[in-house]
Amino acid sequence: MGKVIFVSGIDTDVGKSVATGWYAKQLMMQGYSVITQKMVQTGGETMSEDIRLHRQMQGIGLTEADRQGLTCPYIFPYPCSPHLAARLAEESIDAEKITQATACLSANYDYVLLEGAGGLLVPYTESRTTFDYLRACGYPLILVTSGRLGSLNHSLLNLEMCRIHHIPLQMVIYNDYPVADPLISQETQRYLRRYLADNFPEAQFVRLPIQDLK
Annotated binding residues, written as ranges, equal 13-18, 42, 50, 115-118, 175-176, 202
Going from the C-alpha of 167 to that of each of 66, 131, 160, 171, 193, the distances in angstroms are 29, 10, 10, 12, 18
Using CA atoms, how far apart are residues 177 and 197, in angstroms rounded to an integer? 24
Catalytic status, residue 25 = no
* Sequence ranges of the binding site for Mg(2+): 17, 50, 115
For the annotated binding site for substrate, the residues are 42
Cross-strand pairs, 123? 129
For every residue of 201-213, DSSP letters joined together read TT-EEEEE-GGGG
Q: How many residues does the chain have?
A: 214
CB 54 within 8 A of CB 17: yes
Catalytic residue among 3, 25, 38, 214: 38
Active site residues: 38
